[in-house]
Amino acid sequence: MGGNRLKNKWIWLSILLVFILGIGGIGREINGSKKISIEQQNNVATWIVRSYDNVKKITFLKFYQDENTGTVGINFKINNDDRFKSGIVVDTISEFDTNVGIVGLSPINTFEKLVPSNNKKDYLVDLKKVEINYLEE
């Protein structure tokens, strides 16, 4: 009889755990539905193009918010080359509101093939020479 009671306890604990994990997953999906504007993506593209000389194409892959830290990030691929997949993480989405900035992408020995530039963070950049595939707004 004690065995059935223990078995029932484990069943209820398992159901409760699945329920809690399900609620957590829904919360993460809601947070993941935040959007980044085309203008903000252009700002990120400007940072990348300003920082590296051989950027011909930028494909934005994913925008997300980390539920634990509150930081936001955007992942992208450069020149349609899987070796040049990377991302940028910032404290708040408003940091993507400015086109002033530069980035250093890791691993350094991979991204140095794109030829890092010596441009300052406010150097004027022309994005018309770069093909950009945006995330939907």
Mean pLDDT of 61-87: 97
CA distance 44 to 125: 12
Topology classification of domain 38-133: Nuclear Transport Factor 2; Chain: A, (3.10.450)
User: Which residues have C-beta within 8 Å of that of residue 74, sequence separation ≥ 6?
Assistant: 36, 41, 44, 60, 62, 63, 64, 87, 88, 96, 135
Confidence at residue 84, expressed as pLDDT on a 0 to 100 scale: 98
Residue 107: asked if its preceding bond is cis (omega within 30°), the reply is yes
User: Average pLDDT, whole number, for the chain?
Assistant: 86
Per-residue confidence band for 82, with pLDDT thresholds at 50, 70 and 90: very high
User: Which residue ranges make up each domain of the chain?
Assistant: 1-33, 38-133
pLDDT tens, position by position, 27-65? 443 344 579 999 999 999 999 999 999 999 999 999 999
Confidence at residue 10, expressed as pLDDT on a 0 to 100 scale: 59
Confidence at residue 93, expressed as pLDDT on a 0 to 100 scale: 96
Torsion of CA 27, 30, 31, 33, to 10 degrees: 160
CA distances from 82 to 58, 89, 115 (A): 12, 19, 17
